[in-house]
Amino acid sequence: MTRILITGPSGFIGTHCLQQLLRRSGDFHAVSRTGKGDSQAGITWHACDLRNAAQAVALVAEVRPSLLLHAAWIATPGVYASTPENIEWMQATTAMAVAFGANGGTRFVGIGTSAEYDPGEQGCIEDETPIRPSTVYGKCKAATWLAIQAAAQHYGFAAAWARLFLPYGPGDSPHRLIPSIVNSLIASMPVRTTEGLQKRDFIYAPDAAELIVKLLFSDEVGAFNVGTGVPSTVRYVIEHLAACCGKPDLVQFGAIKPASSEPPVLVADMTKVRERLGWSASTDLRRGLDRVLAGRLERLGGFEG
């Protein structure tokens, strides 16, 4: 049975990836700092602080996975874009990729980011849009993908890179855009926001995980966007949530100025994914937002107004 190691299986995207993995057959190994996690049958848990390159290398040498899905990285909202912890993750991931090759690994899939691109008005195309990341996060992710490719070339393993656009859905941090708006609306607090005209590619996290795991089990190598290909304004997201809650008056568009570093459009071109993997997102934004809202209200025991 194929041995599969997943890192970051307790993170936002990792949790969904682990669920998708468990629909397949395999000898599943997962790593967390404590060595504990989802108690479903069929997962062997390992304790490791992956930012420590020596520990990461030792783990890979012990598990000797054939497939490695590397979803661990610093993701703390408000912190991840500029923290030097990104450099530690780059160093540790590179060491892990080398250990993976040296221990007979055959296929390495890592999670990249839309922040690697210098986006234009059109959708980002994996092998055409310039890689000119503006954040420490984007730079370290782009550097890591080059490093993984170098290790893959030397050791002869296959490598793919899933460039994630804007995931949302169950398990999202309350400090990220959509949960924070939902929470404000439910608490009847004002929602102070930009004009919200920037266009983004929001992807429902379970869909993103489905694509990532499909990529893991494919033979495709190279970079692949993980998005929907559909541009949506932040304004649409907020207006829809506010309308669903019956509280459009709480929203103050234009109360905040957008950061000058924010690109006006950041959307995936999904042609390569469609052609090579035959995949497209099944959950449109409206349906995804409705699910997020329904999930939140369910946990509250109903809408309190």
Q: Where on the chain is the footprint of a copy of itself (CB under 8 A)?
A: 82-84, 86-87, 90-91, 94-95, 98, 127, 130-133, 135-136, 139-140, 142-144, 146-147, 149-151, 153-155
Identity of the residue, 65 or 101, whose beta carbon is nearer to a copy of itself in the bound complex: 101
Identity of the residue, 138 or 263, whose beta carbon is nearer to a copy of itself in the bound complex: 138
Q: How far is the CB of 166 from a copy of itself (least distance, A)?
A: 22
Q: In what order do the strands lie in the sheet with 199-200?
A: 232-233, 199-200, 265-266
Q: How far is CA 39 from CA 16, 28, 250, in A?
A: 15, 12, 41
Q: How far is the CB of 113 from a copy of itself (least distance, A)?
A: 13
Check residue 47 and give left, alpha or beta (phi > 0: left; psi -120 to 50: alpha): beta
Q: How far is the CB of 269 from a copy of itself (least distance, A)?
A: 16
- Distance CA(72)–CA(89), nearest Å, equals 8
* 106 CB-near residues (< 8 Å, 6+ apart): 66, 67, 157, 158
Identity of the residue, 145 or 168, whose beta carbon is nearer to a copy of itself in the bound complex: 145
Please choose, from the candidates 69, 63, 51, 57, the residue with its C-alpha nearest in 3D space to the C-alpha of residue 98. 57
Q: How far is the CB of 13 from a copy of itself (least distance, A)?
A: 22
**b (16+ CB within 10 A) / e for 87-119:** ebbbbbbbbbbbbbbebebebbbbbbbbbbbeb
Label the pairing between strands 3-7 and 67-70: parallel
Identity of the residue, 22 or 81, whose beta carbon is nearer to a copy of itself in the bound complex: 81
Q: How far is the CB of 125 from a copy of itself (least distance, A)?
A: 12
Q: How far is the CB of 129 from a copy of itself (least distance, A)?
A: 10
Q: How far is the CB of 8 from a copy of itself (least distance, A)?
A: 20
**Distance in angstroms between the alpha carbons of the first and the last residue of the chain:** 52
Identity of the residue, 99 or 186, whose beta carbon is nearer to a copy of itself in the bound complex: 99
Please choose, from the candidates 119, 224, 222, the residue with its C-alpha nearest in 3D space to the C-alpha of residue 164. 224
User: Residues 45, 35: contact at Cβ < 8 Å?
Assistant: yes
Check residue 244 and give left, alpha or beta (phi > 0: left; psi -120 to 50: alpha): alpha
Q: How far is the CB of 62 from a copy of itself (least distance, A)?
A: 21
Identity of the residue, 87 or 189, whose beta carbon is nearer to a copy of itself in the bound complex: 87
Label the pairing between strands 202-204 and 107-113: unpaired
